[in-house]
């Protein structure tokens, strides 16, 4: 685009979603109506997903990232659309091969919003990615770091590696609570802003996230393998002088990665620890917020950082409950969630198998259930919201068959016992662990594991051969967008399929 002064205009022009739809109709009929190319019925879901997904806001969001002079840029919405199409169809290949795919198959170019034969190069994609990342550096840490010596502890079979520093979670929670009002800007904030305003909002309006006024979320970590070994080079000549072990800093190609223990594969790995927060009431296991941490970081530490950041940024509703596995079973985690007005549902990581004594003849089991004098578990009988305590009754008085011949109370109602949350948040939860309500709610915790499985297995997250945190975040957010688009299609399949005869030429 040339002005009268002979200077180009580098700011992208906003192309509405309606114009994109018109271009898809025109080009599909131009290239596929003559019978040379054919669009099959199995290709329809891709067309439907992008037909209904409006990505045009990305052009407005990135306006300030383009200079005012120069050649006309590619449409940012088409660039993002093409990247999402790449993740949906060929996530195991690289971007170079994806550009070749669009050259070979006009269908991919048309759905992206490009004219076949006039496609962007690989460098254009990376120029676009650079504008999605709100920082000049590609990583969170500088590449020049002190040499890493300590290897992470190996966890037991099926268990995560323990934290290396005693009291670390407690100190981190206390620091986070003191600075809860201080929001730090992250380079990935631009990605989350677009994801929340354009993707999460649509899912929330469709009711796919559950009740946003009282949201239930689940959190869990998963390893992301980026390379077999840590890659670094020295900044000194100590080795040439015969000093193999020195303390000089080294230059790391992936400074945000380190070595961690993968409890599922029972092996060490090099990469990230991805902590994901998902909507557990969603029947489609939809993700809400990702956070990349060093591979050596424990789930409990990752949860503290991720939950505070998520609470500061999430504006679509209120988190009422959080579901976590036994790796998060620490007093400090309960304190943090209580401070955030979120009810924790955390599986117990029993530290001992003995009952603890009280001032009466009632004992408390390791799972927080009162035990009557003859050794029977008492029955939960509701929660006192005014006094923040749970009520328990004699099992015999609740209709349970038991061998008790000498009841510890002559009252017809039976003996009662109260456990107070303030005395022990971990054992005496607001919703009793042995109640049907707790079991029903906690059964949805596995939704976050299914969400992580979708990202790692179905969308081949670890196939990204990236060397920067920037590109890993872009790939993760792209996959999350695809997960939501898949859910929209499944939820509205009948209305989507009604459009098929109007859009696809010669569908077979």
Is the confidence at residue 319, as pLDDT, over 50?
A: yes
The whole-number pLDDT of residue 234 equals: 86
* Burial of 194: CB neighbours in 10 Å, binned 0-12, 13-18, 19+: buried
The gap from C-alpha 390 to its chain's centroid, in whole angstroms, comes to: 33
Is the confidence at residue 166, as pLDDT, over 80?
A: no
Highest mean pLDDT among 39-53, 159-173, 444-458: 444-458
**Token pair belonging to 173:** 């929670």
- Average confidence (pLDDT) over 140-151: 80
Write down the domain spans for the chain. 17-132+492-503, 144-348+444-467, 357-428
Distance CA 472, CA 470 (A): 6
- Average confidence (pLDDT) over 162-183: 82
The whole-number pLDDT of residue 69 equals: 80
Is the confidence at residue 160, as pLDDT, over 70?
A: no
Is the confidence at residue 167, as pLDDT, over 90?
A: no
Is the confidence at residue 501, as pLDDT, over 90?
A: no
The whole-number pLDDT of residue 241 equals: 84
Percent with pLDDT over 70 in the chain: 89
The whole-number pLDDT of residue 469 equals: 96
What confidence tier does 373 reach under pLDDT thresholds 50, 70, 90? confident
The whole-number pLDDT of residue 210 equals: 92
Lowest mean pLDDT among 85-94, 220-229, 316-325, 364-373: 364-373
Percent with pLDDT over 90 in the chain: 52
- Average confidence (pLDDT) over 284-292: 97
E strand segments, 350-445: 356-357, 363-364, 370-371, 379-384, 389-393, 416-420
The whole-number pLDDT of residue 157 equals: 60
- Average confidence (pLDDT) over 331-335: 92
Indicate the helix (H) or strand (E) that contains 251.
Answer: strand 250-252
Is the confidence at residue 1, as pLDDT, over 50?
A: no
Q: Model confidence over 436-485: pLDDT tens digits?
A: 899 999 999 999 999 999 999 999 999 998 999 999 999 999 999 999 99
Is the confidence at residue 68, as pLDDT, over 90?
A: no
The whole-number pLDDT of residue 346 equals: 93
The whole-number pLDDT of residue 114 equals: 95
Distance CA 225, CA 212 (A): 33
- Average confidence (pLDDT) over 263-283: 91
What confidence tier does 159 reach under pLDDT thresholds 50, 70, 90? low
Highest mean pLDDT among 3-7, 30-34, 319-323, 365-369: 319-323
Contact 192, 139 (CB under 8 A): no
232 three-state secondary structure = strand
Is the confidence at residue 506, as pLDDT, over 60?
A: no
The whole-number pLDDT of residue 403 equals: 64
């Amino acid at each position: 685009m040339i002005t009268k002064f002979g200077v180009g205009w580098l700011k992208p022009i906003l192309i509405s979603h309606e114009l994109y739809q018109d271009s898809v109709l025109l080009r599909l009929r131009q290239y596929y109506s003559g019978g040379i190319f054919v669009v099959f019925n199995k290709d329809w879901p891709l067309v439907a997903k992008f037909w209904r997904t409006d990505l045009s806001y990305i052009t407005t969001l990135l306006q300030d990232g383009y200079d005012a002079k120069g050649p006309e840029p590619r449409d940012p919405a088409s660039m993002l659309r093409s990247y999402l199409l790449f993740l949906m169809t060929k996530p195991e290949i690289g971007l170079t091969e994806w550009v070749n795919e669009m050259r070979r198959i006009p269908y991919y170019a048309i759905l992206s919003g490009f004219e076949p034969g006039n496609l962007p190069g690989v460098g254009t994609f990376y120029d676009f990615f650079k504008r999605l990342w709100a920082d000049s550096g590609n990583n969170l840490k500088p590449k020049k770091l002190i040499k890493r010596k300590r290897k992470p502890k190996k966890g037991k079979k099926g268990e995560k590696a323990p934290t290396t520093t005693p009291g670390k979670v407690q100190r981190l929670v206390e620091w986070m609570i003191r600075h809860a009002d201080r929001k730090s800007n992250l380079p990935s904030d631009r990605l989350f802003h677009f994801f929340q305003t354009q993707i999460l909002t649509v899912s929330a309006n469709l009711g796919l996230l559950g009740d946003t006024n009282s949201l239930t979320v689940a959190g869990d970590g998963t390893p992301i393998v980026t390379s077999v070994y840590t890659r670094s080079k020295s900044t000194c000549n100590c080795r040439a002088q015969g000093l193999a072990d020195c303390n000089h800093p080294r230059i790391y190609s992936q400074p945000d990665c380190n070595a961690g223990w993968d409890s599922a594969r029972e092996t060490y790995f090099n990469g990230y620890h991805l902590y994901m927060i998902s909507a557990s009431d969603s029947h489609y296991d939809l993700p809400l917020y990702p956070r990349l941490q060093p591979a050596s970081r424990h789930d409990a530490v990752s949860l503290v950082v991720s939950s505070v950041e998520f609470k500061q940024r999430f504006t679509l509703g209120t988190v009422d409950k959080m579901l976590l596995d036994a790796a998060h079973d620490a007093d400090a985690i309960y304190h943090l969630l209580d401070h955030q007005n979120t009810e924790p549902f955390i599986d117990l990581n029993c530290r001992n198998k003995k009952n603890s004594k009280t001032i009466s003849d009632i004992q408390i089991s390791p799972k927080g259930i009162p035990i009557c004098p003859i050794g029977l578990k008492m029955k939960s009988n509701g929660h006192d919201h005014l006094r923040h305590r749970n009520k328990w009754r004699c099992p015999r008085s609740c209709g349970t068959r038991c061998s008790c011949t000498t009841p510890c109370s002559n009252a017809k109602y039976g003996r009662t016992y109260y456990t107070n949350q303030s005395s022990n948040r971990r054992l005496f939860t607001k919703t009793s662990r042995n109640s049907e309500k707790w079991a029903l709610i906690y059964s949805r915790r596995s939704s976050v594991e299914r969400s992580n499985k979708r990202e790692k297995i179905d969308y081949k997250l670890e196939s990204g051969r990236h060397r920067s945190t920037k590109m890993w975040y872009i790939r993760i957010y792209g996959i999350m967008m695809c997960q939501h688009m898949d859910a929209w299609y499944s939820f509205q399949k009948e209305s989507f399929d009604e459009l098929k005869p109007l859009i696809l030429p010669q569908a077979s």
